[in-house]
Amino acid sequence: MPPGLTSDDASYVPSIAILGADAMLAALPATAVQLTHACLAAGYDAVVPASWGDELVAEGCLHHLASHDLEPAVMCACPLVAERLVGSALTPLLVPLVAPPVACARYLRALYAPTRVHLTYVGTCPAGDDLALDVHLSPDELMTKLSTLGVVVTEQPLLFESVLPPDRRRFYSMPGGVPAVEHLAAMPTPRAFVELNADDCRSQLAEQLLSRQHALIDLAPRMGCACSGAVPATPPRDARATVVALEPPRSGSEVLDTCIRVELDRPLPPHVSPLRAPDRSASADASAKTHGAVQSRRSVAELTTRARVAPTADPFAPERGPRRRAGIPHRPAARIPAARTADGRVLPRAYLARRPVPGTPVVALQFADAPPEADAAQWVTEPTRRKTRAPVAIPPQGAVADPLTH
C-alpha cells in the first residue's frame, strides 16, 4: 500500500494485476514468482494469476456438461472460438462461457465487495476489453512499464518470504479453462477430451462431430487462444504443456472460495440456445426418453451435415457460392442432330432407326443451329467408323437407316 494511506482510507482503491498465461511466457527466463514481485514493486497492491479464471470456467463447464444431452460438446470460452462458432449451425453443441480473464475479474470484484477495486489484465486475450476490467495491457506493454520504472524482473526474489502468495495451483482446470481430463472421466457419464490441432481444423471438427463420440471438443489453442498458452513461438499442440511446466503441482482440493458465485454464461443470439437434457424424472415415460435420444442423435447428424454441406454453415471461411461435386467435370452441351420434314417439323431421334412413312419427303439431317440459308448438302455426313454414330441422310423407303450396320 502506498505510504500515507491505511486500510481505513475510504478513498483508496486497491490496484490488482491479473497475469495471463502469455504474460508468464513473455517474462521467461524469469519465473512467475519473480514477475509477481516485479508487479508488486511497480505499485500493484496484489497480483493474481489468470488461472483463477480457468478454475471458474472449468467448474462451470462441468456443470453445463451435466445437462448437455448431445453426445459431442464444443468448448466455447475463448472469444476467438466464439467469434467463429456462435450463431452458426454448431451453436446447439457449444458450451458457451465467458473467457477466463472476465471470470477472474468478476470473482475478484465479488471477493472484495463492497470495496471497489481497480483491475488490470495483462495478456493478449481479446476479452481484456470487457467492462469487468479497468485496464488492458499486453505483456510487452507491462515489460516496458517495468523497465521505465527501473524494475528488473530477473533480479527479483525467487521465493515469497513476508507476503502470502496467491495460490497458483489448479484443481478443476487446464490452461484456457477446459476441465482436466480426470474430472471429465469422473462425470456420471464420462466424457473424453479431444483437442483439435490439425491444420485443416474444419475437416477435423466435422469428422469428430460425425463420430458422435461422447467427448468435449476444444479448438482454442488452434485458434490462437492466449489463455491456453498459444503464443507465436509455441506450436498449438504444445501450448498447454508449456504453461503447465511453469506451474506448481495440481491441488488436491478446490483452490477458490466456493461460497462466491459469479455469472459465467456467455450471451447467445436470442433465436438460438444450447440444447439441454430432456426430463429424466422417474415419472417420465420410457418411450419418450428413447424418442428423445433418437431425436438428439438425429440432431447431431443434421447439424454436422449442414456444417459440411451448406456453404453458409462453415464458420471457418467466408460465405461462398455453391460448389460442384468433386470428380464430375462440367462439359458444355453438345449440338444434337435433328431430322426435319419438308415443312420444317422436327422428327424424333428414334425416327432415324425406323422406316419413313410413305410419302414423307426425304431431307438431309441438319444440326438444330444450322443457318436456314446453308446448303443442306454440306451438313450431310458420311459415317467413317461403326462407333461414330455420325448423322446421315435418311435413306429411301425400304432401307434401314442404322449407321451401325455400315
Asked whether residue 228 falls in the same domain as residue 359, the answer is: no
Calculate what percentage of the chain has a pLDDT beyond 90. 50
339 or 17, greater pLDDT = 17
Please indicate, yes or no, if residue 273 is contained in any of the structural domains: no
**Adjacent-strand bridge partners of 18:** 48, 121
Please indicate, yes or no, if residue 280 is contained in any of the structural domains: no
94-104 pLDDT, tens digit each: 999 999 999 99
Asked whether residue 307 falls in the same domain as residue 357, the answer is: no
> What are the two backbone dihedrals, phi and then psi, of residue 12, each rounded to the nearest 5 degrees?
-80, 135
What's the mean per-residue pLDDT of the chain? 76
Distance CA 200, CA 203 (A): 6
Confidence of residue 88 (pLDDT cuts 50, 70, 90): confident
Asked whether residue 175 falls in the same domain as residue 43, the answer is: yes
Please indicate, yes or no, if residue 321 is contained in any of the structural domains: no
Q: Judge whether residue 67 has pLDDT over 50.
A: yes
> What are the two backbone dihedrals, phi and then psi, of residue 354, each rounded to the nearest 5 degrees?
-110, 160
Q: Residue-wise over 274-283: b if at least 16 C-beta within 10 A, else e?
A: bbeeeeeeee
Please indicate, yes or no, if residue 195 is contained in any of the structural domains: yes
- Give the pLDDT confidence score for residue 315 in this predicted structure: 53
Please indicate, yes or no, if residue 35 is contained in any of the structural domains: yes
Asked whether residue 373 falls in the same domain as residue 305, the answer is: no
Please indicate, yes or no, if residue 226 is contained in any of the structural domains: yes
Asked whether residue 134 falls in the same domain as residue 246, the answer is: yes
Q: Judge whether residue 307 has pLDDT over 50.
A: no
Distance CA 108, CA 14 (A): 11
Asked whether residue 340 falls in the same domain as residue 222, the answer is: no
Choose the final residue of a domain: 278, 313, 348.
Answer: 313
Asked whether residue 251 falls in the same domain as residue 389, the answer is: no
Alpha-carbon distance values, 342 to 186, 352, 358 (Å)? 87, 16, 14
Alpha-carbon distance values, 375 to 125, 304, 363, 365, 368 (Å)? 77, 60, 12, 12, 14
- Give the pLDDT confidence score for residue 77 in this predicted structure: 96
319 or 152, greater pLDDT = 152
Write out the residue range of the structural domain in which residue 339 sits.
Answer: 335-406
* Section 13-32 average pLDDT: 96
Asked whether residue 116 falls in the same domain as residue 30, the answer is: yes
Choose the final residue of a domain: 247, 282, 313.
Answer: 313
Calculate what percentage of the chain has a pLDDT beyond 70. 63
Asked whether residue 43 falls in the same domain as residue 180, the answer is: yes
Asked whether residue 247 falls in the same domain as residue 371, the answer is: no
Domain count, the chain: 2
Cell of 346: 422436327
Asked whether residue 197 falls in the same domain as residue 68, the answer is: yes
Please indicate, yes or no, if residue 327 is contained in any of the structural domains: no
Please indicate, yes or no, if residue 357 is contained in any of the structural domains: yes
278-288 pLDDT, tens digit each: 333 333 343 34
Asked whether residue 20 falls in the same domain as residue 118, the answer is: yes
